[in-house]
A and B are shown apart, each in its own frame.
Chain A
């Protein structure tokens, strides 16, 4: 190939991949711009501090939904993170040949189950026996979505810990469980934290699994065994209602949700960067 043609092809491919990179982030930028355009006018102090107004009245806010989302995601993390991290450690450390393979496969299947199906499952599992929609059921559904993500990323991170560190710890006379707890897990911590943050960001925006579980609520949080408001549910309810003011609030809610997810992702990034710096 002559040099001129090679340079030309090189430039063409560089441009193509740059265009692809821009095309990838373009949707996010467009969504953000559109949400700002549609929802910014409804963002004010009331939006963050007030309850929704009764049907037909203008004003009010989504404070209950913001708090509700934080409670749901927090409770889901309490349920899902320890179980997920322990599963990940098991998958990475177990010497058994059959169960880890099966568990890993099933975790991947669970990861692919549509979230509405998980919502229906929790409806049958918790909502029907308890005879009520509840924050607990909503959090359980979200935790089920988090589990495979946390488990698989934790597994990968634990696997990345060099064998030489395990050997050093074992040769020092530490029993296996202490090797995992005091050497392997601290070394893998940064990666595990990132995985957890990604899972949190993912479930914060889930709507479908909450429809039959958390259900939504127009009032403040009233207990774990009561229906609870959540941003995605509120957005859904307001978006399909016939009032312009509610539509504006739905856009604003979507904007707040995206900003929350953005903040969680950013925190994860910063937390990991600091850890890697300290390891050098």
Chain B
């Protein structure tokens, strides 16, 4: 059975507006796939379909098939809550829970999933913070509010929070767009570390970023996946005229 993420004939709507028009793509396991395209092209919707977050918006609808590690996340008997446990997500703006400490933010997924054992929790929190390259910076302030950290630290805290439940896939929806270049560089380093253990899909407006971190890239335009393939090939020798126009900055 195919590993990674396999998308077949994915279509999505907001009410009567069609935002994805039949997407087919394969994202290899333990690789980084970048999703690029102008605003409103459906790239956020695409990643939100993978962990069934699209349907959270009232009136939103999805058709098609998405296999994650061989399991169809849209089969009738699949619980979206279970899907989201296996697929972590990081958002555009850092969104740590403001009423929780640094520790509690990272422990949130496990604790709310029923883990009570204190030793197991601290172990998992430490591991997730290490993985998110944040542990050394916050190990003395674990009991301070998560919102007291800097923006870049908050975003890595959110990454640690997603990693703590040991997901197979990590979705990142423009994770650096609210961060300064230094913080962005740290997150990019981190992404290169993370792909040893998980499959990463990252939406980005920044084409240099896509070129730096990803093996494959998908270019979305008006709800269609115009081109999908090896990142290097796409940036040096795009097959589609529209891709070429976009990556050379002729529009968007």
For B109, the chain A residues whose CB sits under 8 A away are 172-174
Q: Which of A141-149, A161-169, A224-232 contacts B (4 or more CB under 8 A)?
A: A161-169
A223 CB to closest chain B CB (Å) equals 40
Establish whether residues A187 and B99, one from each chain, have CB atoms under 8 Å apart when the complex forms: yes
A190 CB to closest chain B CB (Å) equals 10
For A174, the chain B residues whose CB sits under 8 A away are 81, 109, 112-113
A279 and B147 alpha carbons, distance in the complex (Å) = 7
- Within 174-222 of A, Cβ neighbours of B (below 8 Å) are at 174-175, 178, 182-183, 186-187, 189
Establish whether residues A172 and B162, one from each chain, have CB atoms under 8 Å apart when the complex forms: yes
B162-197 near A? 1/0 per residue, CB < 8 Å: 100100000000000000000000000000000000
- Within 51-107 of B, Cβ neighbours of A (below 8 Å) are at 51, 53, 56, 58, 81-86, 88-89, 91, 93, 95-99
Establish whether residues A164 and B91, one from each chain, have CB atoms under 8 Å apart when the complex forms: yes
Q: How large is the interface on B (under 10, 10 to 19, 20 to 34, 35 or more residues)?
A: 20 to 34
| 8 Å CB contact of A171 from B51, B96, B112 | B51
Establish whether residues B98 and A279, one from each chain, have CB atoms under 8 Å apart when the complex forms: yes
For A171, the chain B residues whose CB sits under 8 A away are 51, 53, 84, 88-89, 91, 162
Establish whether residues A170 and B53, one from each chain, have CB atoms under 8 Å apart when the complex forms: yes
Establish whether residues A164 and B93, one from each chain, have CB atoms under 8 Å apart when the complex forms: yes
Establish whether residues B97 and A165, one from each chain, have CB atoms under 8 Å apart when the complex forms: yes
A178: nearest chain-B partner, CB-CB: B112
Establish whether residues B53 and A167, one from each chain, have CB atoms under 8 Å apart when the complex forms: yes
- Tell whether A131 is near chain B: CB-to-CB under 8 Å: no
Establish whether residues B95 and A164, one from each chain, have CB atoms under 8 Å apart when the complex forms: yes
| 8 Å CB contact of B95 from A162, A178, A278 | A162
- Tell whether A280 is near chain B: CB-to-CB under 8 Å: yes
For B151, the chain A residues whose CB sits under 8 A away are none
- Tell whether A7 is near chain B: CB-to-CB under 8 Å: no
A280 and B147 alpha carbons, distance in the complex (Å) = 7
B85: nearest chain-A partner, CB-CB: A173
B96 CB to closest chain A CB (Å) equals 8
- Within 227-277 of A, Cβ neighbours of B (below 8 Å) are at none
A165 and B86 alpha carbons, distance in the complex (Å) = 19
Known contacts A168-B158, A187-B98, A279-B145; is-contact A173 B91 (Cβ 8 Å): no
22 interchain pairs (CB within 8 A)? A162-B95, A164-B93, A164-B95, A165-B95, A165-B98, A167-B56, A167-B91, A167-B95, A168-B91, A168-B158, A169-B97, A170-B56, A172-B108, A172-B161, A173-B81, A173-B83, A175-B81, A183-B99, A186-B97, A186-B99, A279-B98, A279-B147
Extra contacts, 20 of them, besides A167-B56, A174-B112, A183-B97 (Cβ < 8 A), are A95-B58, A165-B95, A165-B98, A168-B91, A168-B95, A168-B96, A170-B84, A171-B84, A171-B162, A172-B88, A172-B109, A172-B161, A173-B81, A173-B82, A173-B84, A174-B113, A178-B112, A182-B112, A187-B98, A280-B147
Interface residues of A (CB under 8 A from B): 95, 162, 164-165, 167-175, 178, 182-183, 186-187, 189, 278-280
